[in-house]
Amino acid sequence: MTTATMKDGAKIYFKDWGTGPVVTFSHGWPLTADAWDAQMLFLASHGYRVIAYDRRSHGRSDQTWTGNDMDTYADDLATLLDMLDVKGATMIGHSTGGGEVARYIGRHGTSRVSKAVLISAVPPHMVQTPTNPNSAPMNVFDGLRSSLVVDRAGFFKELAMPFFGYNRPNAKVSQGQIDSFWLQGMMGSLQGEYDCIKAFSETDFTDDLKKMTIPTLLLQGDDDQIVPIDIASRRSVKILPNASLKEYAGAPHGMCVTHADQVNADLLTFLKG
């Protein structure tokens, strides 16, 4: 396996395909770089170098007891890009990975980045607070933590249904995608995935978004049951200085799989623009 060593010694698995302008991919919780297979193969076949990695404590990367927080995730990404000497990249993040991209730019700037894409992403701030009253209440995330601890294997099977919109009437259910979601989730550390819930829900990305002056594309389905569009992209696009939002009618959270062809086409158009 190809790995990069982080500042604390943790080894992060990554894949690096193709040649050309660089596109990086940051995955959602509780998945791995494999969640990007459809986008990576497509863009690599269209003349891009595509790089995706397993977040620490996820997938094939080291399972660390500490460092499962958004600042460290962003610093890990910076270490990887520095090691590969990436320049002019387009950074793409899905869900938690979208927060990771925002925090990376907030902490490390845009010297290695030319564009960004946030897909079904968690910014600006998922959890409800006195100053953020319209987001999701804390008991939603407490419920995620409880389900994870009580029966992680069963929970990931159940979570895949709303994640891909398979619980909707007349949905075309792919057992293979459910199995893949389960497998990717089970590869990670229980403790790391537990900590990551706090990272993606309680981190306030507002200041990070304000620093994202590069061209930014937001993509999200209006039937996202995991990260509702009203508390996510529809708010983020008003904060970002240089962004546009494309909404997918009826699309779920896992739209990179269920709407892969449309997502791929939109990414290619944005990359070429």
- The C-alpha R_g of the chain, in whole angstroms, comes to 17
- Cβ atoms within 10 Å of 19's Cβ, excluding its own: 11
How far apart, in whole angstroms, are the C-alpha atoms of residue 70 and residue 77? Answer: 11
How far apart, in whole angstroms, are the C-alpha atoms of residue 55 and residue 28? Answer: 9
> Catalytic: 95?
yes
60: nearest Cα among 93, 33, 90, 30: 33
> Catalytic: 27?
no
Q: Which residue has the tokens 């907030």?
A: 106
Q: How far is it between the farthest Cα atoms of the chain? A: 48
> Catalytic: 253?
yes
Catalytic residue among 57, 61, 95, 236: 95
Q: 232-268 burial by CB neighbour count: b if 16+ within 10 A, else e?
A: bbebbbebbeebebeebeebbbbbbbbbbeebbebbb
* Contact (CB, 8 A) for 42 and 264: yes
Catalytic residue among 54, 62, 75, 224: 224
The residue length of the chain stands at: 273
Catalytic residue among 27, 58, 253, 259: 253
Q: List residues with catalytic annotation.
A: 95, 224, 253
